[in-house]
Chains A and B, each alone.
Chain A
Amino acid sequence: MAENEKKHDPEKEKRKIQAVSRMKEIMTDYYIEAKGAREKGRKVAWITSGGPVEPLIAMDVIPVYPENHGAMIGASKMGAQLCEQAEEMGYSRDLCSYARADIGDAVAKTGPIGGLPEPDMLVCCNNICGTVLKWYETAARFFNVPLFILDTPFIHREFTDSARKYVLAQIYEYISFLETHCGRKMDYERMEEVGRLSVEATQLWQSVLDTCAHKPAPMTAFDAFFHLALIVTLRGTQVTVDYYRQLLDELNDRIDRGIAMVPNEKYRLLWDNLPVWYRTRWLSDKFAGHDAALVADTYTSAWSGMLPEMNGQSFLEAMSETYTKVYINISIDRMFDIVAGMIQKYDVDGMVMHSNRSCKPYSLGQYDLRQMIMDRLGVPTLIIEADMVDERNFSESQIDTRIDAFMETLKS
């Protein structure tokens, strides 16, 4: 208690985002509801972070995200211990730490919420990586539940017509899979309503991120990492729409009142890849110590990148394109276009790339992307090597020196 009092800093208090407490409330309610689903006769589906959640919401199935849980494990600094649990079971240390931590926790149930609510079915979309296929197959065997796999082709150049037909056909298969395992028909009117809420939430999320185009930024990417949870887990619900409206109002109010997250913001940086969940505070303080604000990132914006181009299509039709075109399912050239757009929009001075030992599809190509950014845009770019959840892959003094050296070059 005494320590907490010592840390109390009125300036810091003023900069705190008030909506945080509402967010915690929503997430707590959500996990309580998911944990008690079975008693209430509701179904639970585990789904990958980039998977189409809207049909689940429309079918009144509670979506649960092992990856969100992985982030929670990382933030609670329980990553190494649960990863080791999976390693003891025979899983390689080279595997994704979300997969290892979740597999470890599914057996040990020693994580921050004592294990995820067990699934009635699994929905796996490979738009984010190939690991999820084997991970979900393992889970399907372990829990003995049905698994649906949505295969989204990698986009090298364009989203072709054949790809559209291929994915759309699977979306209808996905709906029949849900109908079979829920024992009732999809209500397509409800489906379109969920789709409308999802689009609205995604638009609001983009507006939230866009507030950081303002100088100084009212929040940083470290805040976005936190507020992201709802757009990942509960898009397609009214509560998410309401929450982001509240957050957006608060951020706009901060802009009006001149409240910056980094008090003396001088340098504006763009972050690439997943957060280092167990070191967000350390990294945030580190950059703030250099008067640097991470004003945008490619990770949290990946969910607003999911904003469908409706063009008069139904939500399900638009969905096939949206879910296939996510940030890490596209070529480096397309990634560069997105990054270049962000550099301009947020008026960025430098870029920090997290080469994430766990996330191969996100990290592969970073060196090429870095070269393109430096050569074509002249934006200095730093790569730091770490891992999103497994803190055994984080060397503090190495990263400390890299960040200091990078900031010295930016300042000189």
Chain B
Amino acid sequence: MITAGIDIGSITAKAALIEDNRLLGTRLQFTGYNAQKAGKSVLEELIAQSGVQREQIALVVSTGYGRNSVDFADKAITEITCHGAGAHFIDPETRFVIDVGGQDSKVIKIDAAGKVLDFAMNDKCAAGTGRFLEVMARAMEADLDDFGEISARADNPASISSICTVFAESEVISLISKGETRENMIAGIHESVASRISAMARRVGVTDPVMMTGGVARNPGVVRALEKKLGVEIRVSAHAQLNGAIGAALLAARMQQAV
């Protein structure tokens, strides 16, 4: 039996196919302005690339902020539940998920079966999210993909005290004018993101082992800063950005089996 999961995030749309508890394929593209269209096309592309037929897909579950705009999905499930299920599938030892996406960051405590015990999400503020890093990369005229590597060479991370993304950007610009090194500034930006996320994680209570997912997990600088702040080792999912879609496909399979 094949099931599909579609995760419509603020920046990217993801899809995953699961067949008999095995990952069949994944696909990622930009969401753009039309979430409904993105959901349709990401699944179509994935179907084409995996060589399965649309009719073979027994059930589709959508998740992410655009979950309710995927009109052909059989059910919409929140990214909290999907990330719990996805992380458990990737690494069953996982008891805590830190997901940092484009517009939100969340922490999820799960049990041995991948069931959500507690969670927290950021609210009304993009600090500590992928968007924050994007804005900073623009201010630094650096490629976000190089952020992790550049920050590894910092000798004294700069302190970015402002919580607000817009104000933090002006803070960075004033640091540039003071001649602060790029390495230290980027390391400081990572620490600022890590502070926001670790405060949220502590509110729920971190339980080992911790897995990090979402686009920001691809930035080793943030991962290192978070490890230092939380005092735990963080496992980065090999499918960091696809975790929600994978979880959605798994939950679809579970629903289908229950029928």
Give residues in A with beta carbon < 8 Å to B: 367, 374, 380, 385, 393, 395, 397-398, 401-402, 404-405, 408-409, 412
Question: With a CB–CB cut-off of 8 A, which chain B residues contact A385?
Answer: 123-124
Check B78–A405 contact: CB distance below 8 A: yes
Given A408-B80, A409-B81, the answer on whether A402 and B121 have CB atoms closer than 8 Å is: yes
Return chain A residues, CB-CB under 8 Å to B117: 409
B81/A408 in contact, CB under 8 A = yes
Quick one: which of B186-225 are within 8 Å of A by CB?
A: 203
In the complex, which residues of chain B have a beta carbon less than 8 angstroms from the beta carbon of A412? 81, 115-116
Contacts of B76 in A (CB 8 A): 404
Q: Is B183 an interface residue (CB 8 A)?
A: no
Smallest beta-carbon distance A375→chain B, Å: 10
Smallest CB–CB gap between B122 and chain A, Å? 9
CB within 8 Å of A: which B64-89 residues = 65, 76-81
Q: Do B65 and A397 have beta carbons less than 8 Å apart?
A: yes
Can you name the residue of chain A whose Cβ is closest to the Cβ of B116?
Answer: A409
A94 to chain B, nearest CB (A): 14
Are the C-beta atoms of A405 and B119 separated by less than 8 Å? yes
Q: Is the CB of B81 within 8 A of A401?
A: no
Residue B233 interfacial (CB < 8 Å) = no
Q: Which of A367, A398, A401, A408 contacts B124 (CB 8 A)?
A: A398
Residue of A nearest to B64 (CB): A401
Contact A408-B77, Cβ < 8 Å, known A374-B118, A395-B124? yes
Q: Who on chain A is nearest to B76 by CB?
A: A404
Contact present for B80 and A405 (CB under 8 Å): yes
B104: A residues at CB distance < 8 A: 398
Known contacts A395-B124, A408-B78, A409-B81; is A401 also within 8 Å of B116 by CB? no
For the residues of A in contact with B, the DSSP-based class is helix
- Which residue from chain B places its CB closest to the CB of A355 in the assembled complex? B123
Complex Cα gap A137–B203 (Å): 38
A401 touches B118 (CB 8 A): no
Decide if A398 touches B123 in the complex (CB within 8 Å): yes
In the complex, what distance in Å separates the CA atom of A322 from the CA atom of B65? 47
Known: A385-B124, A393-B124. 13 other contacts (CB 8 A): A380-B118, A385-B123, A395-B123, A398-B124, A401-B80, A404-B76, A405-B80, A405-B81, A405-B119, A408-B116, A409-B115, A409-B117, A409-B118
Once bound together, how far apart are the Cα atoms of A2 and B104, in whole Å?
41
Total chain B interface residues with beta-carbon distance under 8 A: 17
The list of the 10 closest CB pairs from A to B, nearest first, reads A405-B80, A405-B78, A385-B123, A408-B81, A404-B78, A409-B116, A395-B124, A401-B78, A412-B115, A398-B123
Collect the chain B residues with CB atoms within 8 Å of residue A397's CB: 65
Q: How far is the CB of A248 from chain B (nearest CB, A)?
A: 38
Chain B residues whose CB sits within 8 angstroms of the CB of A367 once the complex forms:
203
B128 to chain A, nearest CB (A): 14
Question: Closest approach, in angstroms, between the C-beta of A149 and any C-beta of chain B?
Answer: 35
Look across to chain B and name the residue whose beta carbon is closest to the beta carbon of A357. B124
Q: When chains A and B are docked, how far (Å) is the Cα of A395 from the Cα of B123?
A: 8
Neighbouring A residues of B121 by C-beta, 8 Å: 398, 401-402
CB-CB < 8 A to B119: which residues of A?
Answer: 405, 409
Shortest C-beta distance, B257 to chain A (Å), equals 15
Give A409 to B119 CA distance when docked, in angstroms: 10
Chain A residue, CB-CB nearest to B10: A397
Tell me which residues across on chain A come within 8 A of B115, comparing CB atoms: 409, 412
Which residue of the partner chain B has the closest CB to A404?
B78
For the complex formed, measure the closest distance between the CB of A411 and the CB atoms of chain B, giving whole angstroms. Answer: 10
Provide the residues of chain A in CB contact with B123, threshold 8 Å: 385, 395, 398
CB distance from A50 to the nearest CB of B (A): 29
In residues 82-131 of chain B, which contact A (Cβ within 8 Å)?
A: 104, 115-119, 121, 123-124
- The answer for the CA separation of A404 and B121 in the assembled complex, in Å, is 13
Is B116 touching A405 in the complex (CB atoms < 8 A)? yes
How far, in whole Å, are A380 and B236 apart by their CA atoms in the complex? 28
Cα separation A385 to B104 with both chains bound (whole Å) = 15
Q: How far is the CA of A408 from the CA of B115 in the complex (A)?
A: 10
Which chain A residue has the least Cβ–Cβ distance from B65?
A: A397
Bound complex: CA of A397 vs CA of B79, how far in Å? 13
Whole-angstrom distance between the Cβ of A226 and the nearest chain B Cβ:
27
Shortest beta-carbon distance from B42 to chain A in Å: 20
Contact status A401-B79, CB under 8 Å = yes
A404 to B81, CA, bound (A): 10
If the complex has contacts A395-B123, A395-B124, are A401 and B203 also in contact, measured as CB distance less than 8 A?
no
Q: Which residues of A contact B81 (CB under 8 A)?
A: 405, 408-409, 412
Q: Could you jot down 16 A-B contacts, CB within 8 Å?
A: A367-B203, A385-B123, A395-B124, A398-B121, A401-B79, A401-B121, A405-B79, A405-B80, A405-B81, A408-B77, A408-B81, A408-B116, A409-B80, A409-B116, A409-B119, A412-B116
Complex Cα distance A402/B119, Å? Answer: 9
Closest to A385 in B: B123
Q: CA–CA, A393 to B125, complex, Å?
A: 11
Q: Which residue of B lies closest to A370 (CB)?
A: B203
A412 to B110, CA, bound (A): 12
Hey, which chain B residues are within 8 Å of A398, CB to CB?
Answer: 104, 121, 123-124
